[in-house]
Structure formats: structure tokens, C-alpha cells
Structure 1
Amino acid sequence: MVESNVNSNKPTPTRTKEHLRRPKEPILIIEDKKENQVLLDAICKRIGMETDIAEDGKIALEMAAKRPYSLYLVDLMMPVLDGKSFIQERKKLEPSAVFIVQTAIDQTEEIIEVMKLGVYDYLLKPLHVEIVSDRLEKALEYVYLKRMEFLLIDEESKELKSQLEWLNYKESHRKTNEINSELHSILNLKTTLMQGSGLGAMSTIIDSIQQIKVDKGNDYSINKEFWDLLYENHEHNMAMMSGLDLAVDIIQNPTNLVRSKSEHLLELLPSLVETFKDEIAERELKVNLPVVKQSVYLDLDIEAMKVAIHEVFTNGLKYSKKKSHFDVFVTFVDGYFCLSAKNNIIEDEYAKQLTQVEKKLVEPFYRIHPPVESFYSKEKFSLGLGLTMVDFILHRHNGMFFIRNAIDHTTEVKADCIIAEIFLPIKNEKETNHE
């Protein structure tokens, strides 16, 4: 019995940009009742997904052996080979397969047994069109993210080896007294700014005011627009000074590493995203945070890592393509906990120049986009110090920071993107903490 009817002859809608995040493969509907086959097929086409239909689990296994499917929509009660048996057999050959099951039994014990099979979700009969559509949309997004995670693990294993070479090169060129050297550079920069050098914009504005000011005896009269511009520039300069102060503090103060569970680090992410809610809304971005079941131990200075992740988010969000996704992933690679952030590149003349020159560079990342003024109030660092400080913080954590240009192969249309990766060594709970 079905609660609602959907016209199966309705034309398949044109895929939107959102649908580009979906897998290309069709959904395999495994259902013995004709009316449910028709309904489920129509719902899938309604959300822009193609389907194949199998009348029982045995036929479904044969079909799955011949072509890949994005996910399996499985009825539990079927002749020849039931849904549970199909799931168990398919998992042997495709451990990462995603299943949604249908059942008419609304009992806690039955639902628990179903979920123990390792299925993504379940649907209760009679089927509701809107509920089925919503569950399928979420499942397809889950498939996309899961595949992205597998791709990242594979890429990161390869990238880790090649970028370790870059890290070794960089380490070999550090000066003997690393901290004093970096601190000395920043203090020199701060002194230079305080003396007025490099404040060209403010000097130009002041020169302009000097030329057009009106002498009124004890007072001068200047145009309101010039004062507003001068004060705005002053705020930018104060933000730069604040960033330099923070950089000095981070370098001068010791890092306090504490053995912590990885979820303590991940708990920072939602509040950090909330910090950028206005910028995210203005750019119409969709932020996807990781859902991680595995917990590991890390040596963390939480406050320092909060600064580092804030900078990675700032860097990614401010250069994200409008109406795109900002994806955050967690992977585990060669004894490291890896937190990755991916953003799609804005397609403009700068991006075209980037593809022409990046192969000439030694470093694994290069950006030639100009500063984004709308983000200055959210930036903790300026003057190009942000990613340098992330690298410094990770070095203090005995970890690594990489940022690289990449191509996103997980969508129907390949897209240029940037992936920033924070690597932290995984620790044992009882292992001695050495700073």
C-alpha cells in the first residue's frame, strides 16, 4: 500500500548546481511489489536521479556485479533472496556501499537489527513521497562526502610523501635560532609600520586633506568623506597592528600541549563557522562540517589551534567561489589526524594566470588574488602573515601544515580548488607527553 501517487511520466528536471555534488551512478531499487517500484522510480526521477530496478536480492546482486550504483534502496521482505541477505552479500564485495532499507515493521527491536546491518537509513511503509525524497537527498549528499573522504585519504597519502620533501627543504633552511629570527622579523616590521613607512594610503589621504582644508582661524574644516576615508584606513592599520601583536605573542609564549581527545578540537568548528555567518550568507556558501565517529588522542594547545583553524577558515572562505561549498573533512593518514578544508576557486583572470605560472614555483601552493577588504575585520593576521603563523603553530604541535592547489574530481564538472591540511600526530592515551 502506498500513501501517495507520483506521475512517473513527469520529465526529469534539469540538474542544478547543487546536484553536481551527487554521484553520477544510478540508484538501484530492490523491490518486489510493482506499485512500490513505480513510486520509488518516480521519486528518484523527481529529484534528478536515474534508477535501475531489481525484483529480488538475487537479481540485484547480478546487476550490481555488472555496473556501479550510487546507493541501494532495499526492501527487507522479498522472495528468492531477502533484503538482509542481499546487504550482507553486497557488503562482502563493496564494503563502502550505502543502503536505505524499507520495512513495514515499526518495532524498536526490528529497527535496531536493521541498523546493525550497517545501513545508512530506513523507511517505514507506507511510503511518504516527501519523506522518501528528503532521505534520498541526504543519502546522496552522504555518498558524495564519503567518496570525497576516500579520495582525500588516497591523495593525502601520496601528497604527504611529496610534501614531506618540501617540509625537509624548508626545515633545512631555517636559521639556527628559529624563534628569535622570526620574532626579530616581525618586530622589525611592526617598528617600520609605527614609523609610518608602508602606510602609503594614509599618507596620500593626509596630503589630500592638507591641500583642500579650509582655515577657519582656530579650526580647520575638511570634507566629511575625507575624514571617513581616513578613519576607515586607520581601522585597517590598527587591525594590522593587532595581528602583529598576536603573532609576537604566539612566538614569544610557550605552547602548552595537553593530551586531549580529537573531538575537543572538532568542537571548535561550529562556533568558528558562526563567526563568519554574515560573510557566508553574503556569498551564499554552504559549509559542510565533518561527522567523525572515530576518536583519537592528540597533544593540543586548544587556544593556539583555535587561532590556526580560524586562519584556515578565513583564508578559504574569503576566496571561495560564490554559491559554492566549503567542505571540511577529517581523515587519518599514516599515523596523523588530518583536518582538511576545501574551497572552490573564483573563476576570474587571476585564476587563469595562476594556472599559467604555478608550475614554475617550488612551493606547493600559490595564490595571486588580491586581498579581500570585506574580510579585514575577521582576519587575525594581515600582511601575509596568516598562513605563516598556521605553519608555526603546527610546527609547535610537532605537526605539519600544507596548502595546495588541486582539482575536485568528485563532481560531474571538474573544478579547481584549494585544499588546506592540518596534520597532527596521533598519540597513545598513556604515552608520555614531551613538548
Structure 2
Amino acid sequence: MVESNLNPNIPTKAKATEHPRRPKEPILIIEDKKENQVLLEAICKRIGMETEIACDGKVALEMAAKQPYSLYLVDLMMPVLDGRSFIQEQKKREPNAVFVVQTAIDQTDEIIEVMKLGVYDYLLKPLHVEIVADRLEKALEYVYLKRMESVLIDEESKELKSQLEWLNYKESHRKTNEINSELHSILNLKTTLMQGSGLGSMSTIIDSIQQMKVDSGNGYLVNKEFWDLLYENHEHNISMMKGLDHAVDVIQTDTILKSTKSENLLQILPTIIDSFSKEINEKELKVNLPIVKQSVYLDLDIESLKLALYEIITNGLKYSKRKSHFDIFVTFVDGYFCLSAKNNIIEDEYAKQLTQFEKKLVEPFYRIHPPVESFHSKEKFSLGLGLTMVDFILHRHNGMFFIRNAIDHTTEVKADCIIAEIFLPIQNNKGTKHE
């Protein structure tokens, strides 16, 4: 049943080619009523998607065996083979298939039973054009992200050996008393800064003031421009000192691991992203957070992990290409909970040199771009210590941290990107829960 005031001749908003972050395959509409077929086909055309139609579940299974589809839009009540039976059979053939179902029964128990089938979303009849279009857009984005995860998992498996070799290299060179070693390095750096070494810009300004100062009798007159520069440098130095103090606190504070559900960790992400709303808007970035239905237990110190996530997001956002996507996604790899953040590389002169510089390095990643001043006030640490602290925090969680250059195969044109990943061991003795 459809609303009588809806016009099936809905104007097309965009072609599918204008949506690079979208699957190319058509949507398979599985619906026995002609009026619903016409309406759904028109809505799909409106959002730029091709469609094919099956009049029942049996025909749909035959069609799905011959070619792939981006997702399945399924009516639950049909002759020959109903929607439930189709979903159950197709899931056996295509475990990662995405289903959106239609139902006229607006009852909680019925909806719960529908969602237990493992569908992505449901639509209530009578169908509303705007609601259906919006739900389909979100479902297509979900399909895209799921496929991106699959591509990246394949890529990770190829690089896992080299990453583990690098991890073993690091571990073999750790000093016995690693905390004291890292703490002393930071304290020495802090002492050096306080003694004046490395504060070249401030020293230059002071030298200039010394040469240009005017004796006014009771004191000196200082040019406003020089004073403003001096005070700006002073604020930067104070910020650096605070960052070093923060790093010392993190290293000296005991890490207390508690059994925690993975969703509690993921709930931190929106708050962190919101704190960068100004910077995200200025760079016109589209941020995609993970959609995770599986829950596992992790041993976490939630406050220190929150700090690690903040640093990873800070690092990714500040080096993201303008008008690009910043994606955060979750995978489960060989007993590990893996959270990854991907940003596209800024295309400039620095990026052109990236490949030749990387060949000279032992580590699998090197950031060649200079600091981004617009993010200075957002950074918790200074002097490039942020990712070092992430590595330290993950080591205390018996986990791993990697950041590497990669090729993004999920866009219309292959693009260089950076992927930062944290691996946390899943506590199998606590079991897992699927929601």
C-alpha cells in the first residue's frame, strides 16, 4: 500500500556516477505489488541508483545467483517465497548481504523479530518518499563502508608480517626499565627547553628588541609588533611545557585495566569529533563514525585510551585533505579489536616527496608535512610526542599501534591515504555478544 498523494514520477536528484562513495551494483527490489514497484523504482532513480525488480523471493534468489546487487529492498509478505525465507536463504549464499525490509505491521514484537533476521533497516507502510530516500542513502553508505573494511582487511593481512617484524624490532630494543628510559628522555627535553636551547624564534625576537629598544629614562619603549610576536611565542612555549608535563603524568600514572564492553570505548568518539567541529567545518570534511553491531570485552584503562583516541583523531583531522572524508571503522582480526582512522593525504609539494623519503626509513611510516598551526590549541602534547604517547598507552594495554601510508582503492580514483590503527586483545574468557 502507498500513500495516494505521492507522485511516482519523482525527479532524479543525481546520477550514480556523482556519488563515488557508493556501490555501483543496482538495488534489487523484491515486491509483488505493481504500485509499490513503481514507487520504489522512482525513489531509487531519484537518488541516482539503478534497480531491478523481482516479484517474489524465489525469482529474487534466481536473479541474485546470476549477478551481484548493492542491497536488497524486501517486502516481507509475498506469494511463492516470502521476505523472511528469501533473507534466510540469501544470507547462506551471501553472508555480508545488506537488507532493507518493508512491513505494514507497526508492532514492537514484529519489528524485533524482523531485526533478528540481521537486516540493516526496516520501512513501515504506507511508504513515504523522503523517509525511504533517506534510509536508502544511509544503507548505501553502510554498504560502501563495509566493503571498504573488507578491502583494508585484505591489505592488512598482506602487511601483517612486516608490521609484526617491526614490532619485534622495537621490543628487542626496549631497555629493561622502559618507563624510566622514556621518562628521562622527556625530562631531559623539558630541562633543555627551560634552559633556552631550541627556543630560536624567541631568542631572535629578543635580540631584535635589544638592538631597537629606545631608552625613555625610566624604562625602555618596545615596538608593539615585537612585543606581540614575543608574547605569541611565549604562549607557544607555555603550551609546549604543559604538553611535556602531560606526557610525564601519563607515563608516571599507573594504568589500571578493567573489563569493559567495546561499545563503551566507541561512545567516546562522537564527543571527541564534536570538539573539532570548527576545524572540520573549516576544512569541509565529512566524518564517518563506525557502525558496529558486535560487542566484545576489552581490558581497558578508559581514560588513557580516551587520550589515545583523541591523539589519533587530532593527527588524522589536521593532515586531512580539504573536502575529503575522514573515516573511523572497526574490524575484528585474529582475536584483536581493531579501530582504524583513515584520512586522505594533502596533495602538495610535501606529498610529492613522501615516497622517496619513506625508502630511507626503518619505520613503516613517516609524516613529512610540517606542523599545522590552526590545530595548535587542540593538541594535548607538543614537539611531536602525540603518536609516541599513543604507542606507549597501547603497549600498556598489551595492544599494538600502527600508522602507515596506503592506497585507498574505495574511491573513484585511487588516492594516497594514511591509516592509523590500534589493536586491543579481545578477552575471550568473557565471551562476545551480538546485538
Calculate the TM-score normalised by the size of structure 1.
0.92
Q: Is the 8 A contact 1:157 1:333 kept in 2?
A: no
1:75, 1:287 → 2: CA distance?
32
Identity over aligned pairs, percent: 84
- Map 1:264-303 → 2, pairs under 5 A: 264-303=264-303
Q: What does residue 46 of structure 1 align with? A: 46
- Map 1:387-402 → 2, pairs under 5 A: 387-402=387-402
Aligned letter for 2:343? N
1:132, 1:428 → 2: CA distance?
40
What whole-Å deviation, never above 9, does each CA across 1:13-59 have from its counterpart, x for those lacking one?
24587x22111211111223333222222211211111122222222
Q: What does residue 13 of structure 1 align with? A: 14
2:346, 2:17 → 1: CA distance?
19
What whole-Å deviation, never above 9, does each CA across 1:116-140 have from its counterpart, x for those lacking one?
3222122222221111101101111
- Map 1:370-381 → 2, pairs under 5 A: 370-381=370-381
335-344 or 260-269: which moved more? 260-269
Q: Is the 8 A contact 2:326 2:341 kept in 1?
A: yes
Q: What does residue 346 of structure 1 align with? A: 346
144-153 or 346-355: which moved more? 144-153
What whole-Å deviation, never above 9, does each CA across 1:259-318 have from its counterpart, x for those lacking one?
333233223222222222221222122222223333322222222222211111111111
Quick check: 1:89 aligned with 2:83? no
Aligned letter for 1:380? K
Q: What does residue 144 of structure 2 align with? A: 144
288-297 or 367-376: which moved more? 288-297
Q: Is the 8 A contact 2:44 2:133 kept in 1?
A: yes
Question: Shift in Å at residue 360 of structure 1?
Answer: 4.1
Q: Is the 8 A contact 1:215 1:221 kept in 2?
A: yes
Q: Is the 8 A contact 2:15 2:49 kept in 1?
A: no
1:156, 1:386 → 2: CA distance?
24
- Map 1:65-144 → 2, pairs under 5 A: 65-144=65-144
- Give the secondary-structure state (helix, strand or coil) at the position aligned to 1:405: strand
- Map 1:229-378 → 2, pairs under 5 A: 229-378=229-378
What whole-Å deviation, never above 9, does each CA across 1:134-171 have from its counterpart, x for those lacking one?
11011111112222333343433443333111100112
1:254, 1:105 → 2: CA distance?
54
406-415 or 136-145: which moved more? 406-415
1:181, 1:206 → 2: CA distance?
35
Q: What does residue 177 of structure 2 align with? A: 177
| 1:42–1:244 distance in 2 versus 1, CA, 3 Å | same
| 1:5–1:315 distance in 2 versus 1, CA, 3 Å | same
| 1:15–1:357 distance in 2 versus 1, CA, 3 Å | farther
1:170, 1:109 → 2: CA distance?
54
Q: What does residue 32 of structure 1 align with? A: 32
2:12, 2:376 → 1: CA distance?
47
1:344, 1:288 → 2: CA distance?
13
2:430, 2:59 → 1: CA distance?
51
What whole-Å deviation, never above 9, does each CA across 1:356-401 have from its counterpart, x for those lacking one?
4324432111211110011111111121211111111111221111
2:65, 2:430 → 1: CA distance?
46
- Give the secondary-structure state (helix, strand or coil) at the position aligned to 1:7: coil
Question: Shift in Å at residue 180 of structure 1?
Answer: 2.4
Q: Is the 8 A contact 2:57 2:81 kept in 1?
A: yes
- Give the secondary-structure state (helix, strand or coil) at the position aligned to 1:254: coil
- Give the secondary-structure state (helix, strand or coil) at the position aligned to 1:260: strand
- Give the secondary-structure state (helix, strand or coil) at the position aligned to 1:59: helix
Question: Shift in Å at residue 199 of structure 1?
Answer: 0.8
The number of aligned residues is 429
Q: What does residue 410 of structure 1 align with? A: 410
1:126, 1:304 → 2: CA distance?
49
Aligned letter for 1:201? S
Aligned letter for 1:399? G
Q: Which runs of 5+ in 1 are unaligned?
A: none
Question: Shift in Å at residue 330 of structure 1?
Answer: 1.9
Q: Is the 8 A contact 1:101 1:122 kept in 2?
A: yes
Q: Which runs of 5+ in 2 are unaligned?
A: none
What whole-Å deviation, never above 9, does each CA across 1:210-252 have from its counterpart, x for those lacking one?
2333321113222222222211111111111111112222223
Aligned letter for 2:40? L
Q: Is the 8 A contact 1:23 1:411 kept in 2?
A: no
1:69, 1:136 → 2: CA distance?
14
Q: Is the 8 A contact 1:156 1:333 kept in 2?
A: no
- Give the secondary-structure state (helix, strand or coil) at the position aligned to 1:25: coil
Q: Is the 8 A contact 2:16 2:49 kept in 1?
A: no
| 1:261–1:131 distance in 2 versus 1, CA, 3 Å | closer
Q: Is the 8 A contact 1:58 1:81 kept in 2?
A: yes
Q: What does residue 217 of structure 1 align with? A: 217
| 1:430–1:52 distance in 2 versus 1, CA, 3 Å | closer
- Map 1:56-71 → 2, pairs under 5 A: 56-71=56-71
2:97, 2:209 → 1: CA distance?
68
2:357, 2:38 → 1: CA distance?
54
What whole-Å deviation, never above 9, does each CA across 1:157-197 have from its counterpart, x for those lacking one?
44333311110011222233322222222222111111111
- Map 1:178-197 → 2, pairs under 5 A: 178-197=178-197
2:344, 2:247 → 1: CA distance?
28
2:239, 2:299 → 1: CA distance?
31
